[in-house]
Amino acid sequence: MRPETVNHPKPSPSFHHRPRPSETIIQSLLFACGILSIFTTLGIVYVLAQESFSFFTNPQVSLINFLTTLEWQPEIDKFGIWSLVNATLITSALAMIVAMPLGLGAAIYLSEYASPRARAILKPTLEILAGVPTVVYGYFALTFVTPILRNILGNETVEIYNMASAGLVMGIMILPLVCSMSEDALHAVPRDLREAAFALSATRLEVATQIVVPAALSGIAAAFILGVSRAVGETMIVAIAAGSGSSFTFNPFQAAETMTGYIARITSGDVSYASLQYQSIFAVGLMLFLITFGLNIVSRIMVARFREVYE
C-alpha cells in the first residue's frame, strides 16, 4: 500500500499593520489641526459671548429693546438691531436673486452642454471672479452700478449710496461659489440616469431639468444656502456702496447700514475702546454669528433631507 500523504495547512499570511513613523506623524498633525480649529471656534464664541454680556449688562442697554425696536443710533443710546438685520437681509436677498439663476444656469451648461474643452476654459474663467478683492467690488458698485441705476430710474429715486447696487454686485461676487458647488453636485449624478432618460427619448433639456437637477437637489440647496451665508457676512461691498443710513426701510434704493458695515465703520473710526458704542459691535457680531450658524445648520439639514445615494 502506498502511504497516505497528509496535506498540512499553510500558515496564513500576517496582515498586521507595520508601524510607519511618517504616517504616525502625519496623523498626529492632522489631529492637532482639527483640535486647533475646534478650540479656535470655541475661543471666538467665548470672546463674542463675554463682550456681548458686558454690553447687555450696561444700564443704558435693554435686551428687550435690542431685539424688538427698529432704530439703531448708538450715539443716543438707541440699539434696535432690526434696522441692521433688515439691511443685511435685503442686500443678501438681492445678491441671491442674481446668483441663484445665473449660477445654476451656468452650472447646468457646464455639466450638461459644454464640451470638455469649453468646460476647461469657462470654469476657471468664471472662478477668477472669486479672486477679485471685495474692495474692488465695492468701488465697482459705487462708481459703475450706481450711476447706471440712477440714469435708468432717476437721481430722485436712487440715492448715491444704496442697498440695490451693493446687493447686485454681491450677487456677482458669490456667483462662482454657487456655480462651482452646483456644477459639482450635477456632475456627481451617475451617468446611468442620463443614459436611461435618453433611451426613453428624452431631450437634453428634459434630462437636465427633470432628471439631473432633482437628483442633485441636495448639493444645489447647500450651494444656495452657503451663498446666502457668504452674502450675509460680506463687509467691504456694503461698507462702500450701501452707505450708513440708520433708518429702517424696505426701499433697496435708499442707503442703509448692514451689520458688517456697522462693524467695519466703528472699528475703523475714532471710537474709544471703552465706549458703549464700541462694545455694541460684539453684540452685532454675536447676532451675525447666530444667523450664519443657523444657515449652516439649515444647509446640513437640507443635504441630509434631499440627499440621493446611488450604488
- Which comes out higher in pLDDT, residue 247 or 261? 261
pLDDT at 117: 87
Confidence of residue 170 (pLDDT cuts 50, 70, 90): very high
Classify the C-alpha dihedral 255-261-266-269 as positive or negative.
negative
Q: Note whether residue 184 is domain-resident.
A: yes
Q: Note whether residue 141 is domain-resident.
A: yes
Q: Note whether residue 283 is domain-resident.
A: yes
Residue 163: which CATH number? 1.10.3720.10
Average pLDDT over every residue of 80-104: 92
**pTM of the predicted model as reported, rounded to 2 decimal places:** 0.84
Q: Note whether residue 157 is domain-resident.
A: yes
Beta-carbon count within 10 A of 302 CB: 18
Which tens digits make up the pLDDT trace of 128-154? 888 888 999 999 999 999 999 999 998
Which tens digits make up the pLDDT trace of 250-277? 889 999 989 998 888 888 777 777 788 8
Nearest to 220 by CA among 177, 178, 171, 172: 178
Owner of C-alpha cell 500500500: 1
Burial 163-199 (b: 16+ CB within 10 A, else e): bbbbbbbbbbbbbbbbbbbbbebbeebeeebbeebee
Confidence of residue 10 (pLDDT cuts 50, 70, 90): low
pLDDT at 137: 93
Q: What single-letter DSSP state applies at residue 79?
A: E
The Cα–Cα gap between 191 and 169 comes to 36
Q: Note whether residue 43 is domain-resident.
A: no
pLDDT at 143: 92
Asked if pLDDT for residue 168 goes beyond 90, the answer is yes
Average pLDDT over every residue of 217-227: 88
Q: Note whether residue 69 is domain-resident.
A: no
Of 15-24, 53-62, 163-172, give the range with the top mean pLDDT.
163-172
Owner of C-alpha cell 471710537: 271
pLDDT at 308: 62
Domain that holds residue 260: 81-306
Average pLDDT over every residue of 149-167: 91
Tell me the three cell numbers of residue 37. 480649529
Q: Note whether residue 282 is domain-resident.
A: yes
Average pLDDT over every residue of 287-293: 90
The count of domains in the chain is 1
> How much of the chain exceeds pLDDT 70, in percent?
91
Q: Note whether residue 32 is domain-resident.
A: no
Give SS3 for 78.
Answer: strand
Asked if pLDDT for residue 4 goes beyond 90, the answer is no
Asked if pLDDT for residue 42 goes beyond 60, the answer is yes
Asked if pLDDT for residue 203 goes beyond 90, the answer is no
Confidence of residue 311 (pLDDT cuts 50, 70, 90): low
pLDDT at 128: 82
> How much of the chain exceeds pLDDT 90, in percent?
30
- 73 phi and psi angles, rounded to 5 deg: -140, 85
Beta-carbon count within 10 A of 111 CB: 21
